[in-house]
Amino acid sequence: MTAISKSDWLSSLAWNEQGLVPAIAQDAQTKEILMFAWMNREALEETVATNRGVYWSRSRSKLWRKGEESGHVQRVKEVRIDCDSDVVLLLIDQIGVACHTGRRSCFFTQLIGGQWVAVDAPTVDPESVYK
């Protein structure tokens, strides 16, 4: 009998040349897409271990535990990957808001008549969301 390593599920992902995969966070109830970020192995492992959304901040080159300072945390209900094993989808309950602008979702800008228009308004003070 061969023992199966606990981390095999991590190894089977197709990490890119920077050791990252794109990650989409979707509201588990409304199905609204809340944000898009990147994960390295450590971020995904911690996400699964803690059931909290943890990402890799490419701009700050460090783990980004969503909401760890603001309280706007993500409770992870389900983790999925796509058919190429190179994109992660998190089904989450978002406490507060996902976007640093104070909006529930980062995807608030719509192309209308050749112009990008912000179609959703902030629901909380952006200052309260950072990190």
Question: Which residues here bind its own copies, judged by CB under 8 A?
Answer: 6, 8-9, 12, 22, 24, 26, 30-33, 35-36, 48, 78-85, 87, 89, 99-101, 103, 106-111, 114-116
Nearer to its own copies (CB atom), residue 14 or residue 69: 14
Which one, 73 or 99, has the nearer CB to its own copies? 99
Closest distance to its own copies from the beta carbon of 80 (Å): 5
**Cβ of residue 65: shortest distance to its own copies, in angstroms?**
19
Q: How far apart are CA 25 and CA 88, in angstroms?
A: 9
Work out how close the CB of 130 gets to its own copies at its nearest, in angstroms, rounded to a whole number: 13
CB atoms closer than 10 angstroms to residue 109: 13
Which pairs count as long-range contacts for 40-47, CB under 8 Å and 24+ apart, including other chains? Answer: 40/15, 41/10, 41/15, 44/10, 44/13, 44/79, 44/88, 45/7, 45/10, 47/76, 47/79, 47/90
Shortest Å distance, C-beta 73 to its own copies:
19
Helices (H), 1-116: 8-11, 41-50
Pick between residue 110 and residue 128 the one whose CB is nearest to its own copies: 110
